[in-house]
């Protein structure tokens, strides 16, 4: 991974933290999920320039983030990350599905 800084334009997608305080490596789970959940095509391009696809897939599959709409979850999973054949439980990703409180 090269040296990257987060562009100020990303503040709209990474709204809960000032982008000048985010660190590419330390905050990668937040950055990746926020961009996959809320980003635009140019944000996707940026995240794939900054992180290897394998790293994005690892974050997406290993650290679920319950903030995706159902349609965005399936777009990211099946098309953006090419995980169509991988079984992932949408209840850990899709925000309008009740949490499992067992």
- Containing domain of residue 79, as a range? 8-92
* Domain assignment present for 100: no
CB contact set of 17 (below 8 Å; sequence gap of 6+): 27, 30
Could you read off the pLDDT of 63-76 as tens digits, one per residue?
Answer: 999 999 999 999 99
- What is the average pLDDT score of the chain? 91
Q: What pLDDT sits at residue 54? A: 98
3-state DSSP assignment of residue 89? coil
* Domain assignment present for 1: no
pLDDT higher than threshold 80 for residue 3: no
Q: What is the mean pLDDT of residues 33-62?
A: 97
* Domain assignment present for 51: yes
- pLDDT grade for 40, boundaries at 50, 70 and 90: very high
* Domain assignment present for 26: yes
pLDDT higher than threshold 70 for residue 101: no
* Domain assignment present for 61: yes
* Domain assignment present for 68: yes
* Domain assignment present for 71: yes
Total count of domains within the chain = 1
* Domain assignment present for 47: yes
């Amino acid at each position: 991974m090269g040296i990257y800084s987060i562009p100020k334009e990303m503040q709209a997608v990474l709204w809960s933290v000032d982008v000048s305080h985010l660190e590419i490596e330390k905050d990668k789970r937040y950055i990746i999920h926020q961009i996959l959940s809320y980003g635009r095509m140019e944000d996707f391009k940026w995240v794939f320039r900054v992180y290897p696809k394998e790293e994005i897939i690892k974050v997406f599959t290993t650290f679920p983030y319950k903030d995706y709409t159902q349609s965005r979850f399936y777009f990211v999973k099946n098309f953006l990350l090419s995980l169509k054949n991988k079984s992932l439980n949408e209840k850990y990703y899709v925000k309008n599905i009740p949490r499992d409180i067992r």
